């Protein structure tokens, strides 16, 4: 990770379009060349970001995901801006749209198929040892070829072995914090989610997932399906 003077960052942002910002400034921008710039601010004097900057984690996780066959953005550069306690990652964005945006436009029958597809994808992630704390439907893209991909990658651990059941349950609880996601995944199409997940991860893992969903969204939900042949 190279050090970037504050003036060089300002020059990099000339002609950019702000995608996301907060009270401290730009968080994500589309640069003039079409690449994306994501900036991270160190919020505390003593923080893990000192020795493990989020931009570096993003780059490391993107490389590992692509090696595992899970599509992720191609990282072009990482840097720090010491004067502003910033670190950043510049990457080539993936084409496509988030599942949250796409699912809002689908009829119920089609949505059921897409939720089952997402269940298979989630099962694959967990069996590959990918623990993505930010796994919500705004961070999963559907690409033009129909494959699913991940974005916003700094908050992730990749162990290289299947996640234990307790970690799978914790992961789904993170996902259901978003009301619209929970309505689709835990109420309207829970059977489709569990059917897809079971086909990849097995009945025991799907049962743990169903327990976590019931704990987070206490509705009269069906049992996890048996493993598909």
Q: Are residues 103 and 209 in the same domain?
A: yes
Cα torsion 26, 133, 61, 201 to 10°: value is: -150
Q: Cα 62 to the chain's mean position, in Å?
A: 11
With the C-alpha atoms ordered 10, 12, 14, 15, is the resulting torsion angle positive or negative? negative
CATH of the domain at 63: 3.30.200.20
**Strands of 54-132, DSSP E:** 74-81, 86-92, 97-98, 130-132
Q: Cα 143 to the chain's mean position, in Å?
A: 14
| Structural domain includes residue 173 | yes
The domain total for the chain is: 2
Task: Decide: residue 220, CB within 10 A, 0-12 exposed, 13-18 middle, 19+ buried.
Answer: exposed
Q: Answer whether residue 59 shows pLDDT above 60.
A: yes
In this predicted model, what pLDDT tens digit does every residue of 155-167 receive, in sequence order? 999 998 999 999 9
| Structural domain includes residue 227 | no
Output DSSP code: residue 82: G
Q: Are residues 88 and 103 in the same domain?
A: no
| Structural domain includes residue 132 | yes
| Structural domain includes residue 60 | yes
Output DSSP code: residue 142: E
Q: What is the pLDDT of residue 219?
A: 57
Q: Cα 159 to the chain's mean position, in Å?
A: 16
Q: 173, 178, 70, 75: which is closest to 129 by C-alpha?
A: 70
Q: And the tokens for 136?
A: 């919500």
Residue that finishes a domain, picked among 48, 69, 92: 92
Residue that finishes a domain, picked among 72, 92, 112: 92
Q: Answer whether residue 18 shows pLDDT above 90.
A: yes
Q: What is the pLDDT of residue 175?
A: 87
Listed ranges 46-60, 100-114, 210-224; the one with the highest mean pLDDT: 100-114
Q: Are residues 20 and 108 in the same domain?
A: no
Q: In the beta sheet, which residues pair with residue 142?
A: 97, 148
8 A C-beta contact, residue 121 and residue 140: yes
Q: Are residues 70 and 118 in the same domain?
A: no
Q: Are residues 117 and 206 in the same domain?
A: yes
8 A C-beta contact, residue 163 and residue 193: no
8 A C-beta contact, residue 204 and residue 174: no
Global pTM value: 0.87
In this predicted model, what pLDDT tens digit does every residue of 125-152 receive, in sequence order? 999 999 999 889 999 999 999 999 999 8
| Structural domain includes residue 223 | no
Give me the domain span that covers residue 201. 97-216
Mean pLDDT of 184-213: 95
Q: Are residues 35 and 124 in the same domain?
A: no
Q: Are residues 86 and 136 in the same domain?
A: no
| Structural domain includes residue 184 | yes
| Structural domain includes residue 226 | no
Q: What is the pLDDT of residue 225?
A: 34
- Residue 228 pLDDT level (bands cut at 50, 70, 90): very low
Q: Are residues 42 and 102 in the same domain?
A: no
Q: Are residues 102 and 75 in the same domain?
A: no
Mean pLDDT of 70-83: 94
Q: Are residues 146 and 66 in the same domain?
A: no
In this predicted model, what pLDDT tens digit does every residue of 93-135 receive, in sequence order? 999 999 999 999 999 889 999 999 999 999 999 999 999 998 8
Backbone angles phi, psi at 97, to 5 degrees: -140, 160
| Structural domain includes residue 225 | no
Q: And the tokens for 126?
A: 């967990």
Q: Are residues 103 and 87 in the same domain?
A: no
Residue that finishes a domain, picked among 44, 75, 92: 92
CATH of the domain at 182: 1.10.510.10
Q: Answer whether residue 41 shows pLDDT above 70.
A: yes
- Residue 8 pLDDT level (bands cut at 50, 70, 90): very high
Q: What is the mean pLDDT of the chain?
A: 89
């Amino acid at each position: 990770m190279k050090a970037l003077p504050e003036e060089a960052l300002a020059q990099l942002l000339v002609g950019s379009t702000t995608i996301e910002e907060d009270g401290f400034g730009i968080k994500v921008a589309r640069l003039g060349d079409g690449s994306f710039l994501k900036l991270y601010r160190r919020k505390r004097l003593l923080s893990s970001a000192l020795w493990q900057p989020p931009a570096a984690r993003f780059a490391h996780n993107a490389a590992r995901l692509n090696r595992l066959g899970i599509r992720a953005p191609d990282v072009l550069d990482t840097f720090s801006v010491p004067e502003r306690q910033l670190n950043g990652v510049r990457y080539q964005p993936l084409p496509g749209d988030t599942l949250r945006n796409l699912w809002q436009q689908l009829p119920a029958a089609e949505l059921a198929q897409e939720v089952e597809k997402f269940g298979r994808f989630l099962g694959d992630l967990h069996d590959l040892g990918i623990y993505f704390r930010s796994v919500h439907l705004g961070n999963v893209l559907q690409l033009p070829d129909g494959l699913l991909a991940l974005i916003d990658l700094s908050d992730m651990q990749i162990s290289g072995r299947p996640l234990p059941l307790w970690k799978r349950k914790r992961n789904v609880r993170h996902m259901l914090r978003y009301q619209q996601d929970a309505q689709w995944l835990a109420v309207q199409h829970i059977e489709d989610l569990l059917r897809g997940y079971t086909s990849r991860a097995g009945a025991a893992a799907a049962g743990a997932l169903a327990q976590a969903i019931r704990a987070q969204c206490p509705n009269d939900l069906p049992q996890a399906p048996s493993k598909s042949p």
